[in-house]
Amino acid sequence: MFKPITIKDIAQALDLSPSTVSRALSDSYEINEETKKRVIEYAEQHSYRRNPMASSLRHGRSYSIGVIVCEVANSFFSQAIDGIESVAYGKGYHVIISQSHDAYEREVVNIQHLANRAVDGLLISMSAETKDFSHIITLHEQGLPIVFFDRIIDVFDTHTVTSDNKKGAQKATQSLIDRGFKKIAHLANAPHLSITAERLEGFESALRANNIPLNESLIRYCHHGGRIQREVEEAVRYFLDLDERPDAIFVASDRLSMGCLSAYNKLAPKAEHPAIAGFSNSDVLDLLQPGFTCIRQPAIEMGRVAMEMLIQLIESRYPVYEFENTVLETELISR
Amino acid sequence: MFKPITIKDIAQALDLSPSTVSRALSDSYEINEETKKRVIEYAEQHSYRRNPMASSLRHGRSYSIGVIVCEVANSFFSQAIDGIESVAYGKGYHVIISQSHDAYEREVVNIQHLANRAVDGLLISMSAETKDFSHIITLHEQGLPIVFFDRIIDVFDTHTVTSDNKKGAQKATQSLIDRGFKKIAHLANAPHLSITAERLEGFESALRANNIPLNESLIRYCHHGGRIQREVEEAVRYFLDLDERPDAIFVASDRLSMGCLSAYNKLAPKAEHPAIAGFSNSDVLDLLQPGFTCIRQPAIEMGRVAMEMLIQLIESRYPVYEFENTVLETELISR
DNA sequence: ATGAAAGCGCTAACAA
DNA sequence: TTGTTAGCGCTTTCAT
């Protein structure tokens, strides 16, 4: 139906051998300038395009990498993707994005799918629901380069990039304490996520530093990361039903913050809403009244670093045994 | 470094020929049930994975399609992508997403890049800045199947999916009129986008239907689609500087709405903000005070339809000359 | 029901 | 500097 021009065609037309044409097009040094010019000119005129499948097959490399995140409609992840793409494109890699929607099954299916498409490596941020990691371990054992970012796991050694979640959580909590709040709740993400534990740690350590006793009953987890609004509403209703309602909440993620706000809007009059601070990379936040203080992660940078790490793994000629676990600083934005 | 198992390996191990193994794995009918079972079992045990590059090379198809949108961190487009993926995965296609960020150069580069990776077809929503379409026309002339959605162009015949932008704009404008506003401004997207013209038309027709004279000076365009916040601020400042300030604004897009709100927050006290209604698929909107009425597009459906159309073009055995231009209904959400 | 062989398009080792 | 050849892994005639 549609037959693109090949190296062979060019060779025939210019009375050369395919290899010469190939050399000309890949800018080899062992070629006559004159010939090279002729080939390139002809190729351009006939809008020749190298067949990436043939080329990949030959090289044993697809020059594409897979990214799996919970969702792209999330400021943090979309910024991370921008970072990933900027590095990837510069190095000639293509990026295939896949969304788990924080659901275990979709993560498994999508990672399978990506692996089947022969990506050269994987950039993974874990789904909130995932507790079983065998689908990832298998791929790692088969030698597929994998780098984790943001939501990492520790089931095998590899490069990772995260932000300093503990310190970020500390800063956010401290900002609430500084504003005079004492009964501070924590709306947490799924319990088995790395970021959940780290942020909880920071939350607790801020309370401790200010001699505020930790009240376990003020911590609520969202096992689906807020994917199901009902679970957020249940947490909010729980807070509202407490004899001693929290006067402030440290929220673990952007998604949860939105869910939390809208749950409060639904369930209680404005006057009864607690103050909120939390992790978020969204820039619609300053449209909200009252504005809410947030911890911003260096998402683009994280994407860049992760991609560079992955490329290093992919292009390394020898097995890599030394791994880096980069931790980036967060930024407090007061509102 | 990492050598995956091939059909040949399986053939050797089971003392069969590669072709038999291939047949077994592709579930051919001309094969012994017994043999098939043996092969499949062995393949599973050794986690054989078909090399997609070889397979693609052989078939002349990559089974992947490219999508280009302005940005994924946009509710409308991320929903559209969900729709696209749901259909694509079901049919065994892979989706490669690319962002133009509404910039002409990035659109050109990314489309080039996608085409070079041998996608079987392209799903395009135009960037706000693009006025020259030759990069797309060239690909079309080379026979690459292309379907446009949402922001379409009319430079050659192909399938398209859009929503009924005119009627949507009418409904939004009418809702403002119904609330008693008379001096209604329109914050429009880039002038050369299809959606811009259609939404303007709806805006004007609503005014006409209510005998409100059209005031050209109440229409402002954002040539970069709001990519540059400054241009939105300039428009808002313009509205604020008018002798007769608008009491309401119909905003053409989600992105512009956000930019518009934040510009007003920055430039004028809350009491002076006009009412706002506009196109948006975001669900953080109901967190805003005052809530703003919006027109919601059937984004997921649009993605689905577009992908189905593209698959039809790709898989058609004969050149397609009959094209569909599907228009979907929008929904008014009052707040 | 199975095998042998050719070829998708490209490239790299080797030969000239 | 250029050409010849072989092969990446898979599929599909054609022959058996």
CA distance B200 to B206: 10
Percent helix, strand, coil in chain B (nearest 5)?
Answer: 45, 15, 40
The confidence score (pLDDT) of residue B295 equals 96
Cα–Cα separations (whole angstroms), residue A272 to A57, A248, B235 = 63, 11, 37
The Cα of A213 is separated from the nearest Cα of chain B by a number of Å equal to 32
CA distance A326 to A306: 9
Domain spanning B165-296, CATH architecture: 3-Layer(aba) Sandwich (3.40)
Omega prior to A4 cis, within 30 of 0: no
One-letter amino acid for residue A116 of the chain? N
Q: What does B211-262 look like in DSSP terms, one character per residue?
A: TPPP-GGGEEE-TTTTSSHHHHHHHHHHHHHSSS--SEEEES-HHHHHHHHH
> Would the CATH topology of A60-162+299-327 be identical to that of A165-296?
yes
Instruction: Mutation target for A interface from B53, B146, B313: give the one with most A CBs within 10 A.
Output: B53
Question: Quick check: A143 and B2 CB within 8 A?
Answer: yes
Least CA distance to B145: which residue of chain A? A2
Biggest alpha carbon–alpha carbon distance for chain B: 88
Bases along strand D below 7 A from a protein CB:
1-13
CA distance A62 to B318: 30
The confidence score (pLDDT) of residue A335 equals 80
Which 3 state secondary structure label does DSSP give B326? strand
Give the pLDDT confidence of B177-190 residue by residue, as tens digits: 999 999 999 999 99
The Cα of A280 is separated from the nearest Cα of chain B by a number of Å equal to 14
Phi, psi of B239 (to 5 degrees): -60, -40
Question: Quick check: B117 and A64 CB within 8 A?
Answer: yes
Which 3 state secondary structure label does DSSP give A283? coil
Q: Kindly list the averaged pLDDT for each block of 10 residues, start to end, along chain A of length 335.
A: 83 93 87 91 91 90 92 93 93 89 92 84 96 94 93 97 98 97 97 97 98 95 93 97 96 93 91 94 80 93 98 89 97 91
Question: Quick check: B317 and A1 CB within 8 A?
Answer: yes
CA distance B301 to B84: 9
Question: Quick check: B53 and A62 CB within 8 A?
Answer: yes
Least CA distance to B119: which residue of chain A? A52
The confidence score (pLDDT) of residue A31 equals 87
The confidence score (pLDDT) of residue B311 equals 95
The Cα of A105 is separated from the nearest Cα of chain B by a number of Å equal to 14
| Average pLDDT for chain B | 93
The Cα of B313 is separated from the nearest Cα of chain A by a number of Å equal to 11
Please give the helix or strand (H or E) that residue A278 lies within, else none: strand A275-279
CA of A4 to C1' of C8 (A): 13
Q: What is the DSSP-derived secondary structure letter of residue B288? A: S
Phi, psi of B147 (to 5 degrees): -125, 135
Least CA distance to A117: which residue of chain B? B52
The confidence score (pLDDT) of residue B52 equals 87
CA B14 to chain centre: 48
| Both structure tokens of A248 | 């402030």
- How many Cβ atoms are within 10 Å of B183's Cβ, its own excluded? 16
The confidence score (pLDDT) of residue A60 equals 87
CA of B5 to C1' of C2 (A): 22
Which strand ranges, in their side-by-side order, compose the sheet holding A331-333? Answer: A219-221, A184-188, A248-251, A275-279, A293-296, A331-333
CA distance B300 to B86: 9
Least CA distance to A289: which residue of chain B? B289
- Chain B residues within 8 A of A144 when measuring between CB atoms: 2
Bases along strand C below 7 A from a protein CB:
1-13
* Nearest of B196, B281, B199, B203 to residue B246 by alpha carbon: B203
CA distance A232 to A257: 9
Quick check: B321 CB within 7 A of strand C? no
Q: By the 8 A CB rule, do A123 and A66 touch?
A: yes
CA distance B152 to B197: 11
Question: Quick check: B49 and A115 CB within 8 A?
Answer: yes
Q: What does B67-102 look like in DSSP terms, one character per residue?
A: EEES-SSSHHHHHHHHHHHHHHHHTT-EEEEEE-TT
Q: What is the DSSP-derived secondary structure letter of residue A30? A: S
CA distance B31 to B24: 7
Confidence band, pLDDT 50/70/90 cuts, at residue B151: very high
CA of B100 to C1' of C11 (A): 33
Give the pLDDT confidence of A115-163 residue by residue, as tens digits: 877 799 999 999 999 999 999 999 998 889 999 999 999 999 999 999 9
CA distance B86 to A265: 32
* Nearest of A235, A198, A233 to residue A217 by alpha carbon: A235
Question: Quick check: B53 and A56 CB within 8 A?
Answer: yes
- Chain A residues within 8 A of B72 when measuring between CB atoms: 72-73, 78, 81, 97
Quick check: A59 CB within 7 A of strand C? yes
The confidence score (pLDDT) of residue A290 equals 74
The confidence score (pLDDT) of residue B283 equals 81
First and final C-alpha spacing in chain A: 59
Smallest Cβ distance to A53: which of B62, B71, B95? B62
Domain B60-162+299-327 has CATH 3.40.50.2300: yes
First and final C-alpha spacing in chain B: 59
Q: Give the start-to-end residue ranges of the domains of chain A.
A: 7-49, 60-162+299-327, 165-296
Chain A and chain B share a number of CB contacts under 8 A equal to: 115
Give the pLDDT confidence of B301-331 residue by residue, as tens digits: 999 999 999 999 998 878 899 999 999 999 9
Strands (E) across chain B are located at: 64-69, 94-99, 121-124, 146-149, 160-163, 184-188, 219-221, 248-251, 275-279, 293-296, 325-328, 331-333
The confidence score (pLDDT) of residue A2 equals 60
Q: By the 8 A CB rule, do B152 and B162 touch?
A: yes
Mean pLDDT of B43-71: 91
Residue B205, pLDDT above cutoff 70:
yes
Q: By the 8 A CB rule, do B306 and B161 touch?
A: yes
